[in-house]
Structure 1
Amino acid sequence: MKIRTSSDWRDALPFDAPLRASEAVPGEPTRCTGCGPSSEVREREDLWVVKHHHPNNPAGFVRFYCAAHRPVVAPRPEPAPSKAPRERRAPRAASNRLPAPTIAERPAVMCPDCFVEVPATGVCGMCGQPVG
């Protein structure tokens, strides 16, 4: 399954950065993800919105949190630069190999009844007629 992306308000949010929900996306009151679906709805001024990374969707996913459940997002570690110098490979010497042979392309053969190209087997895939 290929996930298609669409453009909406979530594209403007940075990943893993808690923002006030009222500033990021004004709207109707909603529930905190941490409190669960049976909790009371809260005003957007009381909620935080966080865009998380998703393993299968590059656009990520967005969750709303109250102040008690707001995740503390640690900064992503920067990759450490390698200390060992990279080895340079010596360029390959010109070899005495012959170039690969070129294969002449077969002329297209058309079926006289179906007007489709016949494969190399010589039998039309549509009607089954042998074409020589």
Structure 2
Amino acid sequence: MKIVASADWRDAIPFETPLVADTVAPGEATRCATCGVLSEPLPRDELWAVKHRHPNNHAGFVRFYCAEHVPEISQPEPAPVAATKRAGAPRAPRSASPRAAAARRVEAAPERPRAVCPDCFMEVSATGLCGNCGAQVT
């Protein structure tokens, strides 16, 4: 069974991008999120839909804004390019010596058989007590 998020009209909207509300979600007249509930409803072709990020919901949330209250969307600045220490051709990586490679290899110790309770046929902990019946196993 695969669990996926449900298909929703808000999934098609990019984050932090103002779009005309009528093209994204056609419907009845509605109010601007900033103007509040006391303002008159505006037709959707006069409103802007903006999908904002939400800390607890990866799908975000959509708000409608009038032309006066459309939020300013700032573009992220590009990351600075890291300066190199030396200008020149990149060096080839050094290969490790065979001795160093052998020192890094760790051989696994052979696993010794663990004690089993003769009554329950269960593995016994390092204390020697069976966790099921309480018998002492040596």
With the shorter chain as reference, the TM-score category is 0.5 to 0.7
Map 1:66-85 → 2, pairs under 5 A: 66-84=66-84
**TM-score (structure 2 length as normaliser):** 0.65
Q: Which residue of 2 aligns with 1:99?
A: 107
Once the two structures are superposed, what CA deviation does each residue of 1:1-31 show, in whole Å capped at 9, x if it has no partner? xxx8432011100111100000011122221
Q: Which residue of 1 aligns with 2:48?
A: 48
Aligned with residue 130 of structure 1, among 103, 116, 134: 134
The root-mean-square deviation of aligned C-alpha atoms, in Å, is 3.3
Identity of paired residues, percent?
A: 39
Kindly report structure 1 stretches of 4+ aligned residues shifted beyond 6 Å: 86-89
Q: 1:105 to 1:51 in 2, by over 3 A?
A: farther
Unaligned runs of at least 5 residues, structure 1: none
- Aligned pairs, number: 120
Q: 1:105 offset after TM fit, Å?
A: 7.2
**Bigger radius of gyration, 1 or 2?**
2
Looking at secondary structure, tell me which structure has more helix per residue. 2
Q: Which residue of 2 aligns with 1:19?
A: 19
Worse overlay, 90-99 or 24-33:
90-99
Q: Hey, what's the Cα distance between the residues in 1 that align with 2:71 and 2:36?
A: 15
